[in-house]
């Protein structure tokens, strides 16, 4: 499911309903794309040569490290690129996603000097205008599950706690990525999973500010939904009542059904005291 916008120098917010299918199908789908408004280039031009170098560099470097930037050429043929893979995906999955993104970015915005494409497993962006270091998150896309929870007030309150704990872990990590889970959420929805990610060049405080704005407060479009996400150019968050990420969650909370206060992880053991 895709939608396009005519420009990305303004704020765009698209609300879409997403019927979630298998993770493998979702990962291969183009979630969203935006074409720039900074001009076009011609085939076999210097800009295309520079763009090919940027895309090749991003593919090679980001597929192994999970994140890469690249700059080639001088104005008016300057090309700047960025690629980010989701922090939990394997190298092969990252590589496959970036390979698809490299092709789609040029097909959905043919001969456009700027393009952005989002997938479940990766994000790719290139432009002839400097954007590296940008800490805003526009444009943004909201995706929501079509099913609703039975107790939205409790769900939203505990979801906020889960995402806060997950965000804190992500902000303290070098990858600016973390996953979390809360058990015994409600009788109907006993487990909820969360994920947050920022571009690695954001500081811890910038990451916290970017992600917290996505869910605190939760957008009205996502209120009461069993799952949802907000994706942008610098940070993203997602939650579901089923596991959608790979590996064990970095944050684990347990919430007694009769109490809305989660049980935090046990504190680390005190340092050993040397014997006299």
Q: pLDDT digit string (tens) for 112-126? A: 999 999 999 999 999
> Reading across the β-sheet that carries 191-198, which strands appear in turn?
13-17, 140-144, 228-231, 235-240, 191-198, 177-183, 251-254
Q: What is the mean pLDDT of residues 64-90?
A: 97
Per-residue pLDDT at 12 exceeds 80: no
Residues 105 and 161 in one domain: no
**If you average pLDDT over residues 242-258, what whole number do you get?**
89
Structural domains counted in the chain: 2
- Which of the listed residues 132, 154, 189 is the one where a domain comes to its end? 132
Statement: residue 11 has pLDDT above 50: no
**Do the strands 177-183 and 191-198 form a parallel or antiparallel pair, or are they unpaired?**
antiparallel
Structure tokens belonging to residue 255: 């919430």
95 with 191, same domain?
no
Q: State the average pLDDT over residues 156-183.
A: 96
pLDDT at 262: 57
Flag whether pLDDT at 1 surpasses 50. no
Average of pLDDT values for 175-186?
A: 91
The β-bridge partners of 70 are: 81
Average pLDDT, the chain: 87
Q: Does 121 share its domain with 157?
A: no
Same domain, 29 and 101: yes
Helix (H, G, I), strand (E, B) or coil at 195: strand
* 153 shares its domain with 231: yes
Max CA pair span of the chain? 78
Q: Do 114 and 45 belong together in one domain?
A: yes
Q: Are residues 115 and 161 in the same domain?
A: no
42 has pLDDT over 60: yes
The two tokens of residue 262 are 């989660």
| Full residue range of the structural domain in which residue 222 is found | 141-254
Task: Tell me the whole-structure pTM to 2 decimals.
Answer: 0.83
Residue 49 lies in a domain: yes
Predicted pLDDT of residue 187: 78
Is residue 244 in some structural domain?
A: yes
The CA distance from 84 to 69, in Å, is: 9
42 within 8 A of 111, measured Cβ to Cβ = yes
Residue 185: pLDDT over 80? no
Token readout for 133 is: 């270091």
- pLDDT, average across residues 63-88: 97
End position of a domain, from candidates 70, 99, 132: 132
The predicted model gives 176-185 an average pLDDT of 92
What are 110's strand-pairing partners? none
List the one residue out of 186, 192, 188, 183 whose CA is nearest residue 237: 192
Residues with Cβ within 8 Å of residue 52, at least 6 apart in sequence: none
Residues 91 and 113 in one domain: yes
Whether 269 is covered by a domain: the verdict is: no
- Alpha helix ranges (H) inside the chain: 23-28, 46-65, 91-107, 152-171, 204-215
- On whether residue 263 sits in a domain, the answer given is no
Q: Which of 99, 132, 165 represents a domain boundary (last residue)? A: 132
- DSSP code at position 40: B
Are 153 and 82 within one domain? no
Does the residue 260 lie in any domain?
no
Q: What is the DSSP letter of 112?
A: B
Residue 273 lies in a domain: no
**Same domain membership, residue 193 and residue 126:** no
Residue entry with tokens 């031009």: 45
With contact defined as beta carbons under 8 Å apart, do 224 and 144 qualify? no
Mean pLDDT of 25-48: 88
The tens digit of pLDDT for each residue in 128-154 reads: 999 999 999 999 999 999 999 988 988
Domain assignment present for 15: no
Average pLDDT over residues 154-159: 90
What pLDDT score does 263 carry? 54
Same domain, 124 and 164: no
Are the CB atoms for 166 and 196 separated by under 8 Å? yes
What pLDDT is stored for residue 274 in this prediction? 58
Q: In terms of domains, do 239 and 169 share one?
A: yes
CATH code at position 30: 3.30.430.20
What tokens appear for 265 in the block?
A: 């992880």
Domain assignment present for residue 230? The answer is: yes
């Amino acid at each position: 499911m895709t939608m396009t916008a005519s420009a990305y120098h303004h704020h765009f917010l698209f609300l879409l309903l997403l019927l979630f299918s298998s993770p493998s199908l979702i990962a291969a789908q183009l979630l969203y794309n935006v074409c720039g408004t900074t001009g076009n280039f011609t085939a076999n031009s210097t800009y295309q040569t520079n763009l090919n170098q940027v895309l090749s560099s991003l593919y090679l470097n980001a597929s192994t490290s999970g994140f890469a930037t690249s700059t080639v050429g001088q104005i008016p043929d300057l090309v700047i690129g960025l690629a980010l893979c989701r922090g939990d995906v394997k190298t092969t999955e990252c590589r496959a996603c970036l390979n698809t993104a490299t092709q789609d970015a040029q097909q959905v915005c043919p001969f456009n000097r700027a393009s952005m494409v989002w997938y479940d497993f990766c994000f790719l962006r290139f432009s002839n205008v400097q954007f590296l270091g940008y800490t805003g998150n526009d444009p943004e896309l909201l995706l929501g599950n079509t099913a609703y929870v039975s107790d939205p007030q409790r769900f939203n309150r505990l979801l906020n706690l889960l995402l806060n704990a997950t965000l804190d872990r992500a902000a303290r990590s070098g990858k600016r990525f973390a996953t979390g889970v809360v058990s015994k959420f409600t009788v109907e929805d006993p487990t909820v999973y969360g994920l947050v990610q920022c571009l690695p060049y954001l500081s811890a405080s910038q990451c916290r500010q970017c992600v917290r704005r996505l869910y605190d407060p939760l957008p009205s479009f996502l209120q009461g939904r069993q799952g949802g996400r907000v994706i942008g150019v610098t940070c993203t968050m997602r939650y579901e009542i089923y596991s959608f990420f790979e590996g064990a969650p970095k944050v684990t909370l347990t919430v007694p059904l009769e109490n809305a206060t989660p049980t935090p992880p046990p504190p680390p053991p005190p340092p050993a005291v040397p014997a006299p």
